[in-house]
Amino acid sequence: MARTQGRGVLLAAVACALMVAGAARASEPGAGRVWIEARSQEVHQQRSTLSQVARAAMPAVVSITTRQVSTDSPEEQKGIGSGFIIHPDGYILTSNHVIEGAAQVTISVDSPRGYREDFPARIIGQDERTDCALLKIDTGRRLPALKLSSASRVEVADWIVVIGNPFGLAHSVTVGVVSFKGRTDVTPNGRKGDFDYLQMDASINPGNSGGPVLDLHGGVVAIANAVNVAGQGIGFAVPIDIAKSVLPHLKAYGHVRRGWLGIEVQDYSPSVAAKVGLSHPARGVVVTDVAEDGPAGRAGLRQGDVIVSMDAERVERAHKMRWQVAARGVGRTVVLQVRRGQQPLKMRVRLVEPPPEEPVAPAVAARSSPARQPASSHLEPALTGQDWAQPSPSSAPLLAPDADPAP
């Protein structure tokens, strides 16, 4: 297994998942919602039992097998993971690291008569930063689909159900409770990303990544994604709200067209204030760097400014603001309420596409696991599909991609 320094988090898939996203307008031909929306239910309504939730969801949970060609071995490599059907036409949601680098992706689903059927999958879209991927299979029949709910509908200590294929054991069910919401201080495999994890104590193992995390109403609230191998009962899942915000982009473009302001922001702290010369305590996020040729720089934003609100919504955390800007997409205009010293300012900024990042050398398709380090030194990275790879024994409307993030 490869290892990461610091706060690395184990990606839980064998093949190898920001927060909030709201409804959007269907503004393009063929665009619209690619999932079935879960409707809110009254608290007094009788809740399903854990077993009922699991049984009802089973037919929509799929096994994913990937095949890859290794530069280190002449033999074909194999990886496994999980996913779930989100639309009867055969759209499947999974974690991007489940299918990343795969030359071939095969989906196993339950037939109406109860046996397993395999279908080749097309990769419709991928997004590394949110670890989401959209696949499509053609079966010639309508498929059972899970409804996408919202992570906002579960709270700490609420029960959840996880279904997946740990170590290739199809339709394995684990249960637990939500341990924490909004976990941003962990990093899967050391990758940069837009993560706002739902932490839970339900068991997650290699092969679970991409599988659904369900509430007691049977709605998907998150996607199983990562596990901390240094502890027990510490698993992480990507809130389904994040996936719902990127799915329209993945279907329309094959990738996410993120909005970009051209600034760096940080949560307020005395050390950040000293760094930018801010003399007064502030509520909001502090602008620590501005690209002069970026949209915010051209609008007049400066280092040391404090962004108090965006589109009339109070800004309190830098991480959340970064995600909301990205999720608004290219071409949208945002209204920023800014405080410069004691002076309030209002700025309108049109979001553009971010400049290309420096190219990063791709990971070797089937790397061997390095020697283990003492567990106390740092957290182990995940078994990815590449690490696990073994030559022998890792018509509803579609939502438009310019969705506004929900407040």
Residues labelled catalytic: 97, 131, 209
Please state whether beta strands 104-110 and 116-120 pair in parallel, antiparallel, or not at all (unpaired).
Answer: antiparallel
CB 290 within 8 A of CB 262: yes
Q: How far apart are CA 228 and CA 38, in angstroms?
A: 30
Residue 37 burial (10 A CB sphere; 0-12, 13-18, 19+): middle
Length of the chain: 407
Q: How far apart are CA 365 and CA 346, in angstroms?
A: 49
Please state whether beta strands 36-37 and 147-148 pair in parallel, antiparallel, or not at all (unpaired).
Answer: parallel
CB 202 within 8 A of CB 176: yes
Q: How far apart are CA 401 and CA 247, in angstroms?
A: 8
- Which residues sit opposite 62 in a β-bridge? 83
- DSSP per residue over 299-367, as a string? HT--TT-EEEEETTEE---HHHHHHHHHHH-TT-EEEEEEEETTEEEEEEEE-BPPPPPPP-PPPPTTP
Please state whether beta strands 263-267 and 285-290 pair in parallel, antiparallel, or not at all (unpaired).
Answer: antiparallel
CB 209 within 8 A of CB 13: yes
* E strands in 115-206: 116-120, 122-127, 132-136, 147-148, 159-164, 172-183, 187-188, 197-200
**CA–CA–CA angle 318, 320, 322 (5° rounding):** 70
CB 385 within 8 A of CB 13: yes
- Judged by DSSP in three states, 87 sits in strand
Q: Which residues of 77-110 are buried (b: 16+ CB within 10 A; e: fewer)?
A: bbbbbbbbbbbbbbbbbbbbbbbbbbeebbbebb
